[in-house]
Amino acid sequence: MNMAKGFSGVMGVKRVAGICRILVRHGFGNFFDWLGGFGAAVTKRPLDMVGKAATGFPSPERIRRIFEELGPSFIKLGQLMSTRADIFPASYIEELRKLQDQVPAVPFSEIQQVIEEELKKPVPSIFRECHAESIAAASVSQVHAARLFTGEKVAVKVIRPGIRKIIEQDIRLMYSLSGIIEKNFELGKVVGATNIVKEFERTIFNELDMFIEAGNIDRFGKNFKDSDEIHIPQVYWDLTSKSVLVMEFIDGIKMDQVETLRAAGIDPQKIALIGLRSFSRQLMEFGFFHADPHPANTIVMTANCVGIVDFGIMGFLDDDMMRHVAHLLLGFAERDYDMVMEALEDAGILRQDMANLQEFKADLKDVSEPFYGRSLKTISVRDVYDQVMQLVLKYRIKLPRNLLLLFKTLIQTEALGKILESNASLLEISRPFAKKFLEKRYDPQSLFTEMAKDIREMGSQLKTTPKWLHEILKQTAAGKQRLELHHSGFSSMDARLEKGINRLTIGIVIAASTIAASLILNSSQKVLEFSFHFMGQQTLSITGILGLAGYTIATLLGIWLIYSIFRSGKM
């Protein structure tokens, strides 16, 4: 769905008016001066706002408060922005992380109406009982406990009524505002305001579709079907629709309730290891990870089993990105910065032609070295993340969205580990999983799979190439295109090729001379022997002279060849 077409209608105008009142109340007194598209002239001067930061942009705290008052859409947008430390300053990232997606629950009568409209049945005929009080309420959805007629306890997650329309209106407004910001403010161009809104649109509409979350749960459950440590809720597909998701109710203790865990005889550090192993498998085995592992979504069921809920935000890594991440994890775990640099270059994050590549490597090493050999208790992944992001900003590096989501998940995973007082090292836990993934890529089955994939791609290219070539030639013949062929560098290539062939020829001559000389000198047959007086009576033959000459030629040519190679610096 693309909402980048502006907005209209009575509801749209009311929403704009409400947003304007909030902005004016927070010191955006000249809001209408720069809000082009609503009838006011757009000025080219910086925003003149109360409480603006030294950069000419509103202070981080003011931005957070505005987002909280603007409601669900802007809270979600702020949460997305808090993951983009590659483009926003650290002070804004830290403040936006405080945005809480908690709102008062919608009355059960409205939730019941949604359930009945979606499932085409009255609630009493679907559930033996359904609790009117919600057990969780967020800006997009809320959850109620219920029990089926077959006896199973279930969690019923329902999209809040009317929220889709509000979000659609807000996204249209966001597109209008982002266009104005990019047009009039340099900062808007730098951060790519419109692209942020596009990313938000994709994310929020995925959260509004319960079929997507149900599919995520189903896939996750299949990935961990062989695990006794991780429990994924069962989805009741016959009771699931676009706005309603019915799944198994996971009962237990929230992971951050450490004292309650200890009282139940559960070792918090063991639970932390289960979480770290699970996360490592998600990254290095499946390429599909839970990207919101906060305490409310991680429930300790027994001393040896953890349940995971809320699969609205997921991260995906394709095979290539999994390989890059595996090399990054191994590189950092083994202090192999060459491996780290190669992984970053292969991922397209760094370029070989960067003038300051060695400077970046030195900075990266300076950031990483102080953290080696330390446990989660003494390392702040957030500190590491912030320092790496400073490098990203310094060298103007663009990071893929899923890699940023992975960094954000690492921070949350580290936070859980600290809550559970874990001594484990995330790098040490993930190292064997990364090694196993890389080793698996070289087994015969994987190699054949890769070969088959390459052959399919090659076949597709061979199939389409004649068509494109014909089209190019056709347009060229019609005068619509012009082909110009330029060649350069062939003369130097010819010289290098000739030099290489000459060296190879000399090498062959040296080898032949040495072999021939050895055969002649070791031969029992002598030709034209003659005697002479030199420190006594001496005997010499023509064959001996030829052998000595061969050794001499081979030695001189060998010395010259070695010297020329060393001189060229091409050893």
Contact between residue 156 and residue 144 where contact means Cβ atoms under 8 Å apart:
yes
> If residue 248 lies in a helix (H) or strand (E), which one and from where to where?
strand 244-248
CA angle 493, 483, 468 (to 5 degrees): 100
Give the Cα separation of 126 and 118 in Å (integer).
Answer: 12
Beta bridge pairs of residue 45: none
Spacing of C-alpha 247 from chain mean position: 29
Which positions are annotated as active-site residues? 292
Strand ranges (DSSP E) for 493-543? 530-533, 537-540
Distance in angstroms (rounded) separating the CA atoms of residues 77 and 197: 8
CA–CA gap between residue 550 and residue 529 (Å, rounded): 18
Give Cα separations from 505 to 133, 435, 499, 509, 553 (angstroms): 89, 45, 10, 6, 14
- The Cα 346–Cα 412 span in angstroms is 27
Burial of 317 (0-12, 13-18, 19+ CB in 10 A): buried
Q: Which amino acid is at 186?
A: E
For tokens 């005997």, what's the residue? Answer: 539
- Report the relative pairing of strands 305-308 and 230-231 from DSSP bridges: parallel
- Residue 563 burial (CB count, 10 A): 10
- The position carrying tokens 């005697």 is 531
* DSSP of 10-63: HHHHHHHHHHHHHHHHTT-TTHHHH-TTTTSPPP-SPP--TTB-TTSSB-HHHH
What contacts 224, CB < 8 A, 6 or more positions away?
Answer: 230, 232, 278, 281
Measure the CA–CA gap between 226 and 429, rounded to whole angstroms: 19
| DSSP sequence for 302-339 | ETTEEEE---SSEEE--HHHHHHHHHHHHHHHTT-HHH
